[in-house]
Chain A
Amino acid sequence: MKIAKHTYDAVIVGAGGAGLRAALQLSESGLKTAVLTKVFPTRSHTVAAQGGVAASLGNSTEDNWHWHMYDTVKGSDWLGDQDAIEFMCRKANEVVVELEHYGMPFDRLDNGKIYQRPFGGHSQNYGQSPVSRSCAAADRTGHAMLHALYQRNVRAKTQFFVEWMALDLIRDADGDVVGVTAMEMETGEVSIFHAKAVIFATGGAGRIYYSSTNAFINTGDGVGMAARAGVPLEDMEFWQFHPTGVAGAGVLITEGVRGEGGILRNAAGERFMERYAPNLKDLASRDVVSRSMVTEINEGRGCGPDKDHVLLDITHLSPETIMKRLPGIREISIQFAGIDPIKAPIPVVPTCHYQMGGIPTNYKGQVVAPKGDNPNTPVTGFYAAGECACASVHGANRLGTNSLLDLLVFGKSAGETVVEDIQSGNLRLKPLPDDAADFSLARMARLENQKDGTNVHEVRLAMQRTMQKHAGVFRFSELLQQGVTAILEVAEQAKTTEIKDKSMVWNTARMEALELDNLIEVAKATMISAEARKESRGAHVRDDAPDTAEFPNGRRDDEWLKHTLWYSEGNRLDYKPVNLQPMSESVDPIALATRTY
């Protein structure tokens, strides 16, 4: 079979916020760049972000990046790498202002500056009081941002391959990355993209869970490709359950609702967050709020006939505020909950939202893996940014508005590093291995010829139910152990998926089968990493690591202050130290402390 081959300086996979931000760096530097994306860029999931992007502009309340850095380290439950966190918080103002210059329609204050609202876990003066740090365009910040970035790329004449799905990473005998294979949806044909550098910006895999705020397309394609190519995945046990998904529908209701004054109430109408987080209350970190909600529900104080959700109340806000600051939320509530939040509270429940772990990178966007004595050796030619990557700035729990910041900062940083590495001559076009496309073609042929196989929908559903039951908001030792067996069984079934539709043209059945291969890698990584981590930290809280005087919150820094690395081959686990040292010598490390809000 003859395979078309395209050659570029750099290939970016994914055209959400991180991919588009990286693409700007490359296109504007004149490098020959291809951006592969399985959906038209403005359909990417960044579009669904609502509440804002963090930057310590200090437009309405005094702020500085040191406070932001402290909040982020504390939010991460000290699992975030402090060099990367310092880098991100220091760069925040620059990348947000840049975005404004690109045309992003931020809301404005009376003095003409960017409007900022409070958000969970963000504080003034090292945890003292809430701060307005979230730069917002109403409650459509992700939409406004993604369109502004796409528009800037139109100006930069970036070359897109729209509706091309990347299949596998190509590594040569040295382990260097030299390209990817990809399938064009319209023709079903597989091509090779040969390049000096490959940047993954493929987003998260929230669809491993049954109930998720994530789009259908969030199938962890880059994470799966990396895992299949032998790259370890970092900290995959840490998943964020967003406190406020619409009960039953899963659609996101931004934390910005609470930033504007919204209150969570139980069946008795009580503002229960006062009991769990006396200081920041409803604006505590997401993991804390989600666990508090589930505790309320488990203890019989849930709302509705089945007592299975709580209520998000903004009826005390003026209709003008709701129409001006939260118009999208009102639309979503009416559409998906049948409720106008001006008149009645919104039924909400914690819902899988964000993948804290991912492909390990440093703050330059280089993918790193253990080699010899160095656990962070760059994989030549391979870069990653955004939700698919783990820099690691979110550690065990991400703060709201830090994801849009992450994709801007590290999208740009990965782009800059690639430009540097290519222009300095460090990266050359290495020859393609003879078998460059064989692995992808074998996967396609297997799917094509599968007889008496399993059903893609059924296997996916089994995976989603397994993850939901065995690795949810609260985790139980016994359920995790059973979960490992269960998910490995599901993974076996995924090896023999069969599709009826064999058309070459826009075959969505084939696409879903290929996506399932990626999801399964993520699901295995999550369950196995979670079972192994015998402590509670951030979003990973287990019954056998309870809050004690010796180990507050169940966190075991003596044994578990380290990053997990999971390898697909043999489901092997390895660990590497957390970087507790900031990037600059002049910046003091944020010392370990017990996390309370």
Chain B
Amino acid sequence: MSKRTVQFKIYRYDPDRDEKPYMQDISVELEPSDKKLLDALVRLKVKDDSTSFRRSCREGVCGSDAMNINGKNGLACLTDVDSLPQPIVLRPLPGLPVIRDLIVDMTQFFKQYNSIKPYLVNDNPPPERERLQSPEEREELNGLYECILCACCSTSCPSFWWNPDKFVGPAGLLAAYRFIADTRDEATNERLDNLEDPYRLFRCHTIMNCVDVCPKSLNPTRAIGKIKDMMVRRAV
């Protein structure tokens, strides 16, 4: 790739300075080595140091740089900048309060994550060595444990937009199933009780936006479906 200029339209809001948010038109010349959207944003920040976004690992494992890219949630570090139609429209993740520019307040998102008790529960005295688990049992956790808590899924979910305080959301429910599916965990009943409510689980209407946007190709809808199945089986 050679040098080229890309056009951006970026959501800007600094509560310290701006009365209200606005969309900023700005372009930046990219170096040949700039391949990902995050590279372009870092380049843009050299030009205007007030452009604000979170970033860390730049390889899709830390979950910092989730944003709304041309209308779809994704990670800037895993998005090829040259694949995007211009102007590239960047907005903060939808449905969470904006702190500044592309930085959202994720308190509600993590509150929901914490609400499902995202830790292994096993009150038996631990053995001296590891608890045993067969490769097949361990495989049940694949597609669940890899979540990076970027919030792309929950903030693309209309049910989460409407009820962020009541609906756990796809990320939290994926985590809930990760522990239900773990043969070492002994709190399945409590976990199902915790979700037995008109909102916490059942606000998922299988719209599947979560599956569509997950940068790790995970499938929260399937995990939610499995929890619903267990609820039903438990009831009959």
On A, residues with C-beta under 8 Å from B are: 39-40, 42-45, 47-48, 57, 97, 100-103, 105-114, 137, 140, 143-144, 147, 151-152, 154-155, 186, 215-217, 248-249, 251-252, 328, 331-332, 335-336, 456-457, 499-501, 503-509
Contacts and interface: CB of A to CB of B under 8 A. Distances in A.
Contacts of B19: none
Interface string B35-56: 1000000000110111011111
Quick one: which of B35, B57, B58, B78 has the most chain A CB within 10 A?
A: B57
Given A43-B54, A43-B62, A47-B148, 8 more contacts: A43-B57, A45-B56, A101-B126, A106-B138, A109-B135, A456-B49, A508-B49, A509-B49
B50 A504 contact: no
B103 interface: yes
A506 B148 contact: no
Nearest to B14: A503
A251 B149 CA distance: 21
B56 A107 contact: no
Top 8 nearest A-B pairs (CB, nearest first) are A103-B120, A112-B132, A501-B50, A509-B49, A151-B119, A503-B16, A155-B119, A43-B62
Quick one: which of B45, B48, B78, B138 has the most chain A CB within 10 A?
A: B138
Given A216-B55, A216-B56, A505 B16 contact: yes
A412 to B, nearest CB: 16
15 contacts: A42-B63, A47-B57, A47-B62, A48-B61, A100-B131, A101-B130, A103-B120, A143-B61, A151-B118, A216-B56, A216-B57, A251-B59, A335-B60, A504-B16, A505-B99
B25 to A, nearest CB: 19
B120 A151 contact: yes
B57 A215 contact: yes
B99 A506 contact: yes
Contacts of B129: 57, 97, 113
B61 A114 contact: no
Contacts of B209: none
B184 interface: yes
A150 to B, nearest CB: 8
B106 A505 contact: no
A252 B138 CA distance: 26
B208 interface: no
A137 B179 CA distance: 16
Interface in B172-212: 179, 182, 184-185
A204 to B, nearest CB: 14
Nearest to A112: B132
Nearest to B110: A40
Interface string B11-45: 00011110000000000000001010000000001
A252 B54 CA distance: 21
B133 interface: yes
B146 interface: yes
Nearest to A99: B130
B28 to A, nearest CB: 13
Interface string B104-144: 00100010001001111010001011111111011001000
A154 B61 contact: no
Contact of A217 (B46, B56, B60, B134): B56
- Main secondary structure on B side of the interface with A: loop
Contacts of A108: 132-135, 137-138
A42 B62 contact: yes
Contact of A101 (B48, B103, B131, B145): B131
Contacts of A39: 54, 56, 62, 64
Contacts of B120: 101-103, 151
A136 B96 CA distance: 36
Contacts of A215: 56-58, 62
Contacts of B33: 248
A103 B50 contact: no
B145 A144 contact: yes
Contacts of A57: 129-130
Contacts of B9: none
A506 B132 contact: no
A456 B47 CA distance: 12
Interface string B88-108: 000000000001110100100
Nearest to A512: B49
Contact of B138 (A105, A216, A506): A105
Contacts of A508: 45, 49, 52-53
Contacts of B133: 108, 112
Contacts of A504: 16
Contacts of A40: 64, 106, 110, 149
A102 B184 CA distance: 10
Nearest to B130: A100
A137 B139 CA distance: 11
Nearest to A59: B130
B57 A152 contact: no
B132 A111 contact: yes
Given A101-B131, A216-B56, A48 B78 contact: no
Contact of A143 (B16, B103, B148): B148
Contacts of A97: 128-130
A506 B52 contact: yes
A136 to B, nearest CB: 12
Contact of B60 (A144, A331, A507): A331
Nearest to B149: A42
A215 B77 CA distance: 12
A186 B60 contact: no
Quick one: which of B62, B120, B122, B145 has the most chain A CB within 10 A?
A: B62
B130 A45 contact: no
A526 B133 CA distance: 45
Contacts of B149: 40, 42
Given A103-B119, A108-B133, A505-B16, A186 B56 contact: no
